[in-house]
Amino acid sequence: MAWDFETEPEFQEKLDWVSAFVTVEVEPLDLVLGSAYDVGNPDFVRLVRPLQAEVKAQGLWACHLGPELGGAGYGQVKLGLLNEILGRSRFAPTVFGAQAPDTGNAEILAHYGTPEQKRRFLEPLLANEIVSCFSMTEPQGGADPLVFTTSARLDGDAWVLNGEKWFSSNAHLAAFLIVMAVTEPDHPDPYRRMSMLIVPSDTPGIEIIRTVGYAGEASSGHSYIRYNDVRVPADHILGGRGDAFVVAQTRLGGGRIHHAMRTIGEARKAFDLTCERVLSRFTQGSTLAEKQLVQEKIADCWIELEQFRLLVMRTAWLIDKHKDYRKVRRDIAAVKAAMPKVLHDIAARALHLHGSIGMSDEMPFMAMIANSFLVGLADGPTEVHKITVARQTLRKYEPTDRLFPSYHLPTARARAREKFGLASE
């Protein structure tokens, strides 16, 4: 009997350390620093670097990575338990060397990078000496990559890149960008027309048109970029020509589940704050906690959070078991699709139960609600992931060519009577 929801005592000790460290040392950073990616900011260097050193001393740096890349090699279940603590704080992923999109970019560099690409881009990225950008979405569409038009053509020993990208997070701070571009426009398979290119950010021709933010974000960080005849050496391709979709999938499987793990932490934070509030606020003859309509909201939050956590942890367990994201595609898509609603509903109840102060910019709930939309869009909108869940699920079913469904009761009853030798009705 292998179903087991226990955490090993030695790992629980580490989690207890992480929890105390995040609460005491890291969460306060969220209140005083801007971008968690601004590695050149002197305050970042002064405040964040010593905390990162403590994390390294604890052997908890970049735990999503295998030992060959300097990580602990924890599987996804352990990462889930760790990430749900990190999700409470905006800065915690950076302090623990596990911040998106650098994690996904490191994953594909580790997987597809040449020794030279690893030395130049991966090593400083893993050390958080630099940050990176994943530049894929275009102004005319993000959910459907087949509409992308940014192109790169080989000219002698260089790729020449032209086109526009939209919402490229951290481009203005990144040392390099990984850009998805059409390199094989005539390939008969549209999913083989694009390649991934590594573009150092000091390459001439990269024009940041503007950097966009969204409500509740600590600092604007998503760039609208134009690539004007940007020349990068021919060996700056990641994977083979036409491999962009395969490379992107390697990156997105892990990225989505890690987002979900952190979202548990963010939703739990909203819930914890709400529990304190309803026990403390006295109105119309009792505390909020004593009112049944409030109790229903508390119960709904707890149930939804625990349901979601179980789905995330089961998916983590499946990834550890199969060690192949493709075999867990439906589960990862389900987690991705469930995540925005769980965070939204819990944060919205938290906001509402706090009343006016809940709506104010003195509380975190508006930002959490904005984040619920973020997790519903970044790495693909919810609808697209629901389509994956439905398609993968329906594969296991067969249609019937009968006039009435195969489970039609009169037919099923007649079969049952025949099976047991009973006279027909």
Ligand X SMILES: Cc1cc2nc3c(=O)[nH]c(=O)nc-3n(C[C@H](O)[C@H](O)[C@H](O)COP(=O)(O)OP(=O)(O)OC[C@H]3O[C@@H](n4cnc5c(N)ncnc54)[C@H](O)[C@@H]3O)c2cc1C
Q: Which residues bind ligand X (CB under 6 A)?
A: 101, 134-137, 141-143, 167-169, 222, 374, 377-378, 380-381, 383-384
Here the tokens at position 222 are 């998503």
Choice between 166 and 317, CB closer to ligand X: 166
The answer to whether 14 and 20 have CB atoms below 8 angstroms apart is: no
Minimum Å gap between C-beta 138 and ligand X is 8
Minimum Å gap between C-beta 58 and ligand X is 29
The answer to whether 248 and 112 have CB atoms below 8 angstroms apart is: no
Choice between 97 and 380, CB closer to ligand X: 380
Phi-psi region of 142 (alpha: psi -120 to 50; beta: other; left: phi over 0): alpha
Please give, one letter per residue, the 3-state secondary structure of 102-118.
HHHHHHHHHHHCCHHHH
Choice between 56 and 386, CB closer to ligand X: 386
Choice between 146 and 279, CB closer to ligand X: 146
Here the tokens at position 239 are 């994977």
Tally of residues, the chain: 425
Choice between 141 and 240, CB closer to ligand X: 141
The CA-to-CA distance between both ends of the chain, in Å, stands at 45
Minimum Å gap between C-beta 323 and ligand X is 26
Minimum Å gap between C-beta 334 and ligand X is 16
Residue whose C-alpha is closest to residue 81's, from 309, 279, 281: 309
Minimum Å gap between C-beta 384 and ligand X is 5
Choice between 298 and 378, CB closer to ligand X: 378
Choice between 61 and 176, CB closer to ligand X: 176
Minimum Å gap between C-beta 123 and ligand X is 22
Choice between 307 and 393, CB closer to ligand X: 393
Minimum Å gap between C-beta 393 and ligand X is 17
Residue 70 phi/psi, 5-degree rounding, is 90, 10
Give residue number: closest CB to ligand X.
Answer: 142
The answer to whether 237 and 195 have CB atoms below 8 angstroms apart is: yes
Distance CA 99, CA 188 (A): 37
Minimum Å gap between C-beta 81 and ligand X is 26
What residues pair up with 210 in beta bridges, in sequence order?
224
Residue 205 phi/psi, 5-degree rounding, is 105, -10
**Angle, alpha carbons 196-336-74 (nearest 5°):** 75
Choice between 71 and 380, CB closer to ligand X: 380
Minimum Å gap between C-beta 219 and ligand X is 12
Give me the DSSP letters along 119-185.
IIIIHHHHTTSS-EEEE--BTTBSS-GGG---EEEEETTEEEEEEEEEEEETTTT-SEEEEEEES-T
